[in-house]
Structure 1
Amino acid sequence: MFNNLSDKLDKALHVLKGHGSITEVNVAETLKEVRRALLDADVNFKTAKEFTNRVKEKALGQDVLTTLQPGQLMVKIVKDELTELMGGETAGINLKGSPSVILMSGLQGSGKTTFSGKLANFLKTKKTKKPLLVACDVYRPAAINQLHVVGEQIGVEVYSEEGNMDPVAIATNAIAHAKQNGHNVVIVDTAGRLAVDEAMMTEIANVHAAITPDETLFVVDSMTGQDAVNTAKAFNDRLNFEGVVLTKLDGDTRGGAAISIKSVVNKPIKFIGTGEKMDAIDVFHPARMADRILGMGDVVSLVERAQEQFDEEEARKLQKKIAKNQFGFDDFIKQIQQVKKMGSMKDLIGMIPGAGKALKDVDIDDDAFKGIEAIIHSMTPEERSTPAVINGSRKKRIAKGSGTSVQEVNQLLKQFNQMSKMMKMMQGGGGRKMMQAMGKMR
């Protein structure tokens, strides 16, 4: 996520991060490089210029040149200004109506239909809502079918009307259906349209006027950069939407849309899409994103994702097994499954401070655990519960059954033993205190 921008900003701030002589001249030179990095990332020119001017003004106003750690203070100012540029505070979604009505708008190919499903799944699982998806893309039958497939996948009802070509009527009828059937959130998926298409823009404005949504979200493909920002302005002039959704942030995104869009349309980014799976959706936190752009990681989000997969009863059982030296490969594979549910490996590693930069040239595959799982599944129940019984002949059989080598089986057994010892150590006083502290965070 934003790898190129992160690298360029890191290079630009490198001189100031050291403990060498820092002058007003090299602060100005550094900010010139920062501005160039932002422009290369497709950030709006006016936004980039105003950003670096504000950073310079604050830096000189806070006597950066005379502090003991001028580099660190300079990075903090850049981080704070970057956070402010992207919205400052985290913006929540408005769900006050009965039912709450959310209108999705956006360009063709922005990922709007998929995101409608992700949002329904998010509200269902995290907000315990009963959402209804509404198919109002009457021009593309495939879009209606796609929404039905998505709805079935996440267990959410989809409302559509075969043969009806009036999205205003469909949306109005859907809200009546939601009231009658106990749905407390209605998500209306509309046709993708071009900002220059006057007839289509009038149509969505009519839908908006008829259903008076609590939230109108503009969905934008973050890979389109500055074009996305310009389009957002055109849509906002007609719909006055409440917030922005950035999709495809897991791709090779330059970052321009995320950084520029708030300053141009003065509307917050509310959600981001971070992958293809239905749970690949995150609330947008400007401060956390600024940390990630500056290579500082995002430990808070990482902990939150881990806590979502955390089962207290399972944790207690696991703790007892570790204490009795009964932790086996069946337990290990359960932990792997929980990690996989947290999201893509590349995204997770990007949340660890310094890890994203250290592993930037390493291709991290989401199938990274496939070989380990194959080895474990090739073991007998006895071998999985009591790894100590695995001798030379068993290793050969396991390697053959998993399509791996004896060397790879040995490597896994060695890593497993090391991990078991570390977990046993964690059962001591320090480990218990840490677990108790984490429990209080929940």
Structure 2
Amino acid sequence: MLDHFSILTQGGLVLWSRSFTPSPSPFDALIREALIEQRASSSDLASSSTSAVSRWDKDAYAVLWLLENNLDLVFVVAYQRILSLPYVADLLEAVRKAFLRAYRDTVQAIVDSSVKGKDVLVLGGSVGGPAAFGLFGEKGWQKVFEGWDETFSRILREFESNAAKNKKSTPRASALTNIPDSPSTSASEATTPSLAEPADGPVDAQTIARNIAALKARQKAALRKGGRKSGAGTESEAGSESDATPTKPRPRKAATKWSDSAITDADLAAFDYSSDAPSPARGGGKGASSRAGTPALEEVDVDTSGMVDRQALGTRDSESGMYEVADYAVRGAAGESDEDEDEEEGTGAADKPQSALSSFFSRLSLQPRSLTAADLAPTLQAMQQHLTAKNVAQSIAEQIVASVGKSLEGKKVDAGGLFNSASRAGRRAVREALHEALVRILTPKTSTDLLLEIQRKRSATTSAAAGAPAAGGRKGAAGADPYAITFVGVNGVGKSTNLSKVAFWLLQNRLRVLIAACDTFRSGAVEQLRVHVRNLGKLEEELGGAKEGEPRRVELFEKGYGKDAAGIAKDALAHAKQNGFDVVLIDTAGRMQDNEPLMRALAKLIAVNQPDKIIFVGEALVGNEAVDQLTKFNRSLRDFSGSAGAAGGASGPGKGRGVDGMILTKFDTIDDKVGAALSMTYVTGQPIYFVGTGQTYSDLRMLRVGHIVQALLQD
């Protein structure tokens, strides 16, 4: 049974619609995510080279749609995806043919009026041309497709009745086929049914289940029989060995201490590495050195000559004084314009070797007519290989190319005007469609200006605490909520290093930063952040950011190892609020995306502290692996943080917080293979804030959409 059926334009205008249930329609999400943003998960979009019908799973619905690109129409149906309705694709095709047969001229008049800039819905038939004249009278929009309800009902009844007949006439395997004709020679085979022989017709689910049960029974019987034999042999061999040589008593193994066992004072003292823990080597006390046998941070002579690349520093606005990191320029991304490429296809193109990208665009050889799937197939296949070579995940490359192809089917290629051949017009149409698709995917859907968001939160929360003196002497800051950013990711991608780069950027913008060491698992994680804080403090002094008499602009908040990360982050936020810090950067332990206990612990940190941003740090070197990591991180955070009961929000699986943005590391090692940026943005729809390009604190870059698109399209 269907739930919803609609006929609408690709601009979102609903021409006709019918709902069979009162449940809300998923078509708005389809238009926004699948048609406009061209974004879906790898398991959501299923396309076939032999069918123009696309499928997209949304929540409990299966959504199928068919495009009529020549008229910018979308025929779309939704039903519960637990149902098996094999006739829906044929139903869409039949409805499309019947609708166009009856209303092609009417729809064409609407399209022509929209192209001319005239709103036919408002102005009516007076300006819609002869075909649209008189369509909108006193009855309004319902008058246009009068009679279509009856036609649609007739088509739907035919398909449903045929489906019911086919279901009844489907031959079912008889249960007698499971009974052997003669008794089996084996005892185990005599007690278990035999596997049904494959018949010409389909085997039903009940027969398959009986076959599986029979196979499992045989396997268990064989294991029992073999186990008795091997067990007897083992016993005899063990007996002969014991008679020959006496066995030595094994040492008593220490009892395992489980996580739910009682923790003694000795356990706490043995694993407490916090700075205020008593130690014989440093004499105890909070003013002692951070580690036994090592000098305090203030006593270390720091050479800052190699910590900042002066040529890689960003720019500072002369009016506002804001410091912005430099843009990342993809090597050779300037490229050539399409006009230059078309000119080179003339007389001068023979002197140059044909590039790979130009080669697969040149495969289009058309007469002046509408593009078909057969015309586009070789070009789209080469386009998919090109994107995969750029390090785009294979599943995502397939979905993007399929979406581009279906948006071009039925488009008319005009050989006149700017073009002198239909093949050139076809190549330009494919290139422009791919360019537009990539731009839509990569364009951020939310603001990427972190400085603006930090300023807004400070302004909103400082007003309540205006005039209250802070611990460091600042007025109007104590009591203001700091802006919290949590960095998450797998092991070894560079979370702590890039956190320190972000801290350097914030310090250049005159913000006070508190770094919370919530990686209480990895050895040396706290010490690594302590070194970064020391270096950033020295750089702040040398670059003229720190002024005499002002409190330190960057500090570390840590409580050692083996502690609850969520509790440390909560205490860090409270400390930052009390002492007038503007931003809190929360460093978390690296964890694999499939480790459920560690993902639950991370989700607990998110649910308890509700940071303003959750930034996923990933490597630009990986393709399919990056998609798997980001997808599972995002899903686990949403499910587990929702189950933890985030304050002020709905609880339950899928109701929690997900990833808000990404930072890609090691971006200077990939040249123009920037496909990971496309893959990660496609999966989440979230922006890429920065990319890391080196080892110094200034090696942080902004990634522009135009640079990524040019790098993806160039050879």
CA-to-aligned-CA distance 1:188-216 (integer Å, 9 cap, x gap): 00000111222211111111112110101
CA change 1:122–1:44 in 2 (3 A) is: same
The residue identity in structure 2 corresponding to 1:220 is G
The structural deviation recorded for 1:184 is 0.7
Aligned pair 1:83/2:401, yes or no?
A: no
Cross-structure match for 2:663 = 245
Partner of 1:33: 382
Amino acid at match of 1:258: A
1:236 aligns with 2:634: yes
Closer, same or farther: CA 49–6 of 1 in aligned 2, 3 Å: farther
Corresponding residue for residue 376 of structure 1: none
User: Alpha-carbon deviation of 1:293?
Assistant: 2.9
Q: Which residue of 389, 395, 399 maps to 1:50?
A: 399
**1:66-118 superposed Cα distances (whole Å, 9 cap, x missing partner):** 35263555433322211222345574145354200111110001111111111
Q: Deviations over 1:278-330 (max 9, x none)?
A: 122223332332123334xxxxxxxxxxxxxxxxxxxxxxxxxxxxxxxxxxx
The one of 144, 147, 153 equivalent to 2:535 is: 153
CA contact (8 A) 1:218 1:244 kept: yes
Q: Which residue of 1 aligns with 2:580?
A: 182
Taking the aligned partners of 2:516 and 2:575, their CA distance within structure 1 comes to 10
Of the three residues 524, 533, 544, the one matched with 1:142 is 524
Cross-structure match for 1:267: 686
Counterpart residue type for residue 187 of structure 1: L
1:191 to 589, 611, 628: 589
One-letter code aligned to 1:265? T
Tell me, in whole angstroms, the C-alpha distance in 2 between the residues paired with 1:11 and 1:88: 31
Task: State the distance in 1 between where 2:394 and 2:525 align.
Answer: 36
Aligned to 2:109: none
Q: Percent identity?
A: 29
Which letter maps to 1:47?
I
Normalising by the residue count of structure 2, what TM-score does the alignment of the two structures yield? 0.37
**Cα separation, 2, equivalents of 1:90 and 1:83:** 15
- The whole-number CA distance in structure 2 between the counterparts of 1:12 and 1:142 is 48
**Residue in 2 aligned with 1:332?**
none
Q: Structure 2 vs 1, CA of residues 6 and 145 (structure 1 numbering), >3 Å: closer, same or farther?
A: farther
Counterpart residue number, 1:214: 612
Distance of 2:513 and 2:693 partners within structure 1: 22
Count of matched residue pairs: 293
Letter in 2 for 1:178: A
TM-aligned CA distance change 1:60 to 1:164, over 3 Å: closer
Provide the rounded CA distance (Å) in 1 between the counterparts of 2:578 and 2:530. 20
Question: Is this contact kept in 2: 1:35–1:52, CA < 8 A?
Answer: yes
Would you say the 8 A contact 1:172–1:211 is kept in 2? yes
Q: SS state of the match for residue 686, structure 2? A: coil
Give the aligned partner of residue 503 of structure 2. 120
Of 261, 267, 277, the residue aligned with 2:696 is 277
- Corresponding residue of 1:13: 357
**2:598 matches 1:204:** no
Instruction: Provide the secondary structure at the position in 1 that maps to 2:563.
Output: coil
TM-score normalised by structure 1 residue count: 0.59
Matches within 5 A, 1:77-116: 77-88=433-444, 91-92=447-448, 93=450, 94-95=453-454, 96-97=456-457, 98-116=481-499
Equivalent residue number for residue 91 of structure 2: none
CA distance in 1, matches of 2:444, 2:690: 14
Whichever residue aligns with residue 150 of structure 1, its letter is: H
TM-superposed deviation, 1:237: 1.2
1:6/1:293 contact within 8 Å kept:
no
For 1:242-391, list aligned pairs within 5 A.
242-252=660-670, 254-295=673-714
Higher RCO (C-alpha under 8 Å, 6+ residues apart): 1
Structure 2 unmatched ranges of 5 or more:
1-328, 336-353, 458-480, 538-553, 638-657
Q: Which structure has more helix as a fraction of its residues?
A: 1
- Which structure has the bigger radius of gyration? 2
State the 1:136 CA deviation: 1.0
Instruction: Give, in angstroms, the shift of residue 43 of structure 1.
Output: 2.8
- Using the alignment, how far apart are the partners of 2:331 and 2:404 within structure 1? 22
Q: Is the 8 A contact 1:139 1:191 kept in 2?
A: yes
Secondary structure of the equivalent of 2:501? helix
What is aligned with 1:402? none
Range with greater deviation from structure 2 (24-33 or 196-205): 24-33
How many Å apart are 1:255 and its aligned residue?
Answer: 3.4
Two-structure CA RMSD over aligned residues (Å):
3.3
CA shift at 1:59, angstroms?
A: 4.7
Deviation at 1:61, TM superposition (A): 6.2
One-letter code of the match for 1:252? I
Q: Secondary structure at the match of 1:250?
A: helix
